[in-house]
Amino acid sequence: MSFRSGYIALLGVPNVGKSTLLNQMLGEKLSIVSPKAQTTRHKILGILHRPQAQLLFLDTPGLHLSKKLINKKMLEAALSTLHDADIILHLIMPQGEFKPLDQRLFEEAKKLAKPHWVLINQVDQVAKEKLLPRMEQVQKLWSPDYILPLSAKTGEGVEDLLKLLVKSLPEGPAYFSSEDLTDRNLRFLMAERIREQLFRQLHQELPYGSTVEIEAFEEKEKLISIQAKIILTRESHKGMVLGKKGAKLKSIGQKAREEMEAFLGKKVYLQIFVKVMTGWEKNEAQLKNFGIVE
């Protein structure tokens, strides 16, 4: 078989399991995940190497139709991903009503005449007899090229998906080295580990008004020193991040450091500072500065 390669976009409403699926396919934790919606904020490229193919996955932010600048820009970034993709994977839940955004994603894919596959995620959480009505509903609504049930969490159906993707990609060269996992640098990936802990450990609303910047990254033979800054929108949030006598920040740092060490395979010395920058999420220049929009 000739070598095949191409871009595959992962799209869906918030918390449908896109990042979990990406990590499952790569066999490596690249995208951060948490039980909260919209954990993914950036467009992330994950690279999977197979003997006769290179699959380039574009994990997009969890999206919703909102008038906030940051959400509008994230939606624009996700929809622009469709232009780059050879195949569009549209993740949905196994039950419940579809969101208006699901219809919007389908319409955008149809406009571009791209292969549109619907993946029914979380099949490990529903009775098998409920899947057929869901598949019939999807077929009637959108008539996608494929409807595939799977579980991003357990891996059920994921290998079948990958085999079908390899067969369906166009012939082409390998765009990245066989050692590459992503096009993102280590600073970005380590900042994401801290941001994941903000989502996991803090109040529901707080993480959405925060971002993380790596100010220093120094790699030595046996140790990596990282200096990071958590940026908040409000002064009142600072106490929540710090916690009583700094306990919450210490916990965030400890868990993030453990994740970093597992990924990097080295000891990490991590320092985290907290800064307030009012209105950064409403400022397009700052959104670009923090890499949230291009």
> Does residue 142 lie within any of the structural domains?
yes
Residues 135 and 271 in one domain: no
Mean pLDDT, residues 185-199 taken together: 88
> Does residue 32 lie within any of the structural domains?
yes
* 168, 195, 228 - which closes a domain: 168
Q: Which position has the higher pLDDT, 131 or 290? A: 131
> Does residue 181 lie within any of the structural domains?
no
Mean pLDDT, residues 211-223 taken together: 90
Mean pLDDT, residues 95-108 taken together: 85
* 134, 168, 202 - which closes a domain: 168
CA nearest to 43, candidates 184, 252, 200, 225: 184
Residues 43 and 129 in one domain: yes
> Within the chain, what is the greatest distance between any pair of CA atoms?
61
Residues 238 and 273 in one domain: yes
CATH number at 64 reads 3.40.50.300
3-state secondary structure 169-191: CCECCCCCCCCCCECCCHHHHHH
Residues 17 and 142 in one domain: yes
> Does residue 160 lie within any of the structural domains?
yes
The tally of domains found in the chain comes to 2
Q: How far apart are CA 113 and CA 86, in angstroms?
A: 10
> Does residue 177 lie within any of the structural domains?
no
> Does residue 271 lie within any of the structural domains?
yes
Residues 25 and 139 in one domain: yes
| Residue 221 reports pLDDT greater than 60 | yes
Mean pLDDT, residues 161-178 taken together: 95
Poorest-pLDDT segment among 28-37, 122-131, 138-147: 28-37
Range list of β-strands (E), the chain: 4-11, 44-50, 53-59, 87-92, 116-120, 146-149, 210-219, 223-232, 267-276
Residue with tokens 């710090």: 242
**N residues, the chain:** 294
Mean pLDDT, residues 22-47 taken together: 70
Burial of residue 64, with CB atoms counted within 10 A of its CB: 0-12 exposed, 13-18 middle, 19 or more buried:
middle
Single-letter amino acid code for the residue at 136: E
Q: How far apart are CA 291 and CA 268, in angstroms?
A: 24
CATH number at 249 reads 3.30.300.20
CA angle 60, 65, 67 (to 5 degrees): 115
- Whole-angstrom CA distances from 152 to 101, 194, 227, 271 are 21, 23, 33, 33
Q: How far apart are CA 200 and CA 129, in angstroms?
A: 34
Poorest-pLDDT segment among 70-84, 196-210, 214-228: 70-84
Mean pLDDT, residues 64-91 taken together: 73
Helical packing angle, 100-111 and 69-84, nearest 10° = 40
User: Is 234 in contact with 209 (CB distance < 8 Å)?
Assistant: yes
Residues 33 and 157 in one domain: yes
Structural domain of 128: 4-168
Residues 164 and 214 in one domain: no
User: Model-level pTM greater than 0.85?
Assistant: no
> Does residue 220 lie within any of the structural domains?
yes
Residues 10 and 147 in one domain: yes
> Does residue 176 lie within any of the structural domains?
no
Residues 134 and 201 in one domain: no
Residues 252 and 203 in one domain: yes
Single-letter amino acid code for the residue at 23: N
